Amino acid sequence: MSQNTQSGTVDEQQAVEQGKEAATLKTVFGIPVETKWISVERAIKVVTIEDTIFNMCGEGDTVEEAIEDYKLSLQLYFQELIEDEDNLTECKAHHLCYLRKAFEVYNGQADG
pLDDT digits (tens, 9 = 90+) for 62-77: 888 999 999 999 999 9
Q: Residue 49: is it exposed, middle or buried by C-beta count within 10 angstroms (0-12/13-18/19+)?
A: buried
Determine, yes or no, domain membership for 112. Answer: no
Determine, yes or no, domain membership for 69. Answer: yes
Q: By C-alpha distance, which of 64, 60, 56, 33 is closest to 48?
A: 60
Determine, yes or no, domain membership for 72. Answer: yes
CA 70/CA 45 separation, integer angstroms: 17
Average pLDDT score, the chain: 78
Determine, yes or no, domain membership for 111. Answer: no
Task: State the average pLDDT over residues 50-66.
Answer: 90
Helices (H), 18-89: 63-83
In three-state secondary structure terms, 14 is helix
Give the whole-number percent of the chain exceeding pLDDT 70: 68
Distances (CA, A) of 77 to 23, 39, 40, 48, 105: 24, 28, 30, 18, 18
Determine, yes or no, domain membership for 16. Answer: yes
What's the domain range around 91?
A: 4-106
Residue 2 — pLDDT band, cuts 50, 70, 90? very low
Q: What's the total number of domains in the chain?
A: 1
Higher per-residue pLDDT: 36 or 97: 97
Q: Is 36 a residue whose pLDDT tops 90?
A: no
Determine, yes or no, domain membership for 39. Answer: yes
Determine, yes or no, domain membership for 40. Answer: yes
Long-range contacts of 55-63 (CB under 8 A, 24+ apart): 62/7, 63/7, 63/8, 63/35
Determine, yes or no, domain membership for 20. Answer: yes
- Residue-level pLDDT at 38: 74
In three-state secondary structure terms, 73 is helix
